[in-house]
Amino acid sequence: MKMQSRQTRGMTLIGFLMVLALVLFAAYLGIKLVPIYLNHFSVVSEMQAVASEPGSANTAPQTIRRQLMTRLDLSFVKHVEPENIRVERSDGTRLIVKYEVEEHLIGNIDAIISFNRVEPLSN
């Protein structure tokens, strides 16, 4: 009787552990970073709401800043301070929010995410 060769199929335990470690690390990064981006989407939504109000281009910058900060507080938005909000009046009036978020990941590794959003104000 002739012996047939067996081919090994599948993954070794070490290979499985390496793949599992990569998947867990990606999930950990997602848990840490996704809330920051969801927070930014709320900032963008509130900026668009303030910018679309009729006559917002003619409103005083302090009033626009106060309106946006009130909306951000009601939406439980973190990381944006009044000094991060600017109103520029050149080539049309624009609302600018520029801020950074620093998130501790592992050991001495941090992620710094910079956001810079510009919305034109309506007349």
Q: Are 116 and 43 in contact (CB under 8 A)?
A: no
Which segments of the chain does DSSP mark as H helices, in order?
13-51, 61-74
Q: Give the residue from 58, 60, 80, 56 showing the smallest Cα distance to 70.
A: 80
- Environment class of 71 (CB within 10 Å of its CB; exposed 0-12, middle 13-18, buried 19+): middle
Residue 108: alpha-carbon gap to chain centroid: 21
Q: What is the mean pLDDT of the chain?
A: 90
pLDDT digits (tens, 9 = 90+) for 77-93: 989 999 999 999 888 88
The answer to pTM > 0.85 is: no
